[in-house]
Structure 1
Amino acid sequence: MSFVHIRDLQPFQFNKKIKVRVCRIWRPKLIGYDDQFGGLQCILVDQMADAIQATVKEIDYDLIGAKIKAGCIYEITHFHSGRSKTSHKVVPHAAHLFFNTRTVFTELSSVYPQIPRHRFYFLDYGQLCTRIDKNEILTDVLGHITAVQPLEEKMVGNGRKEDVRITLWGDTVRAFDFQALEELAPPIITVFTSLKVKQFQVYKCVGKTVLNSSVSTMIFIDPDIQELDTYKMTYDFLSSLC
């Protein structure tokens, strides 16, 4: 059986084989329950830099959760695909993968061409307003942290230095190591994933764009991505003008 690229996967397929890196893993809690989870979610990326989301049901978590970890590359077989959600999608793919106890994960030490460690779908600050209260797909942003407040992050959205407030809720903020930020030299370049775009303090149809975390939000500081170098160059250039 030959490998299938992520971009060629369609809903309602079986007997496919993929070669991917697990670039994100999280366990979303069920809304309204403090100690109940909704299985395991992960984002897979392949050599074409395309990404797709995969789900493990809670009943299969104990077995599957021990077989995969973020950052590793696997050959995966014996899974099926379905249609992706109509709202709160993490990646823009029409299909969604489902792993179960029959799914086989074979870890690979290396592959060529290399598979990127991350895959984000960034939205420029100027485009955030197009997603206000529109949650078909969640939003990834890249910026640098300018201030930390209790239960909140404040970051720069782009080179024009508009501040965008990001509010972190629940486990997202509890898992974030705020003290570690004190040991880092600025700029602290950070990726926030899977955010919901809202409007705050609306007056005469004008408000400030804000970002709220979702159950899928993860935070990456100085991730190994090409956009990071570009952002730092822009930051250094703008800083030299101040």
Structure 2
Amino acid sequence: MTIKKSQGQTLQKVGLYLPKSGNTMQATIRKHDVEHFKQILSEGNVYVIENFNVIPSRDKYQVVNRKYMIQISNWTNIVEIKDDAASIPFHIFSFISFDNIRNKRHDDGCLLDVLGSIAAISPIYYTYVGQDLTPLRNLEMQNAESDTFSVTLWNKFVLDFDDRQIHENKATGPVVVVFASMSVRIYKEKLQLSTYSASRFYINLHIPEVATFQDALQQRQMPVGPIQYIEVAEQASLTPYEQISSNRKTITELIKLDPIESQCYMQNTKYTCEAKLVKIDTTYGW
């Protein structure tokens, strides 16, 4: 078996390639065993793995669509091997089209692999998730039919996304990006792909699927235009605690606000209110 970079990022969720069957399978490591296996396992290396459990796969966020997965524990025996390592493919994906992504709107069962050219990039911006100031970045991917799809990078994926590499590759042709193990999210009623802890991305990866995609662009004689710039709205610099205390109003004060007289002042202004929830009216649904 080999640990696949394309199928898992953290040791708690690992993708395996099974050379005899040519299939992939997900493996999981119990939380209290992770530190032990960090010293043993490295992504891309080939191992013989013995004495493991086979358990049902979880219902959500599978990196490989299988009914069962392997559970590695402290009694599992793992030995690295060097022979025949080159015969095992380093990257394995199950690519999905943009149209089929739209059918996954409410399906978190299996994370998705997708590829396309980069059409637009936003600058890095930050927002608070809980009490943590979190970096984000927006992208627009484009398929061979010129359809686009939005992607949001979070946390370490934002910092790992190298602008210089993108623009250097753009000088020689379209920049093709592979996103592996992505989740589907809805933001402001718009469907988008979002990075997950197990996600990976690759720029102009040397695999047949990327070569086929590049050939399709050439056959369609699609012009390679500059990567567009995505503007982002100015983000609040206040912490969640500071936002709670900012512009605090009572319900009476909110009712008395005159939206016409205060239109200039109220534009893009947020108010906070401390109140007790006494009833939920579900007449028109949730």
Q: TM-score range by the shorter chain?
A: 0.7 to 0.9
User: 1:152 and 2:124 equivalent?
Assistant: no
Match of 2:36 among 42, 53, 63: 63
Distance 1:232 1:42 in 2: 30
Instruction: Quote the sequence identity (%).
Output: 23
CA RMSD of aligned residues (A): 2.2
TM-score normalised to the size of structure 2?
A: 0.65
CA contact (8 A) 2:18 2:25 kept: no
Match of 2:215 among 192, 213, 233: 233
**More divergent stretch after superposition (123-132 vs 208-217):** 208-217
SS of the aligned residue for 2:192 comes to: strand
1:26 shift after superposition: 1.7
Match of 1:90 among 63, 81, 94: 63
CA contact (8 A) 1:40 1:65 kept: no
1:93 shift after superposition: 0.7
Aligned residues: 206
Deviations 1:152-191 (A, max 9, x none): 22211x2111111101122322333333223223322211
CA contact (8 A) 2:16 2:26 kept: yes
Distance 1:153 1:199 in 2: 15
Q: In terms of Rg, which structure is larger?
A: 2
**More divergent stretch after superposition (109-118 vs 217-226):** 109-118
- List structure 1 segments (4+ residues) > 6 angstroms apart after TM superposition: none
1:230–1:212 CA distance, 2 compared to 1 (3 A): same
1:224–1:21 CA distance, 2 compared to 1 (3 A): farther
Structure (1/2) with the larger strand percentage: 1
Distance 2:18 2:40 in 1: 19
Distance 2:150 2:25 in 1: 28
Distance 1:176 1:81 in 2: 36
- In structure 2, the partner of 1:130 is 103
- In structure 1, the partner of 2:176 is 189
1:113 shift after superposition: 8.8
Unaligned runs of 5+ in 1: 1-19, 28-38, 203-207
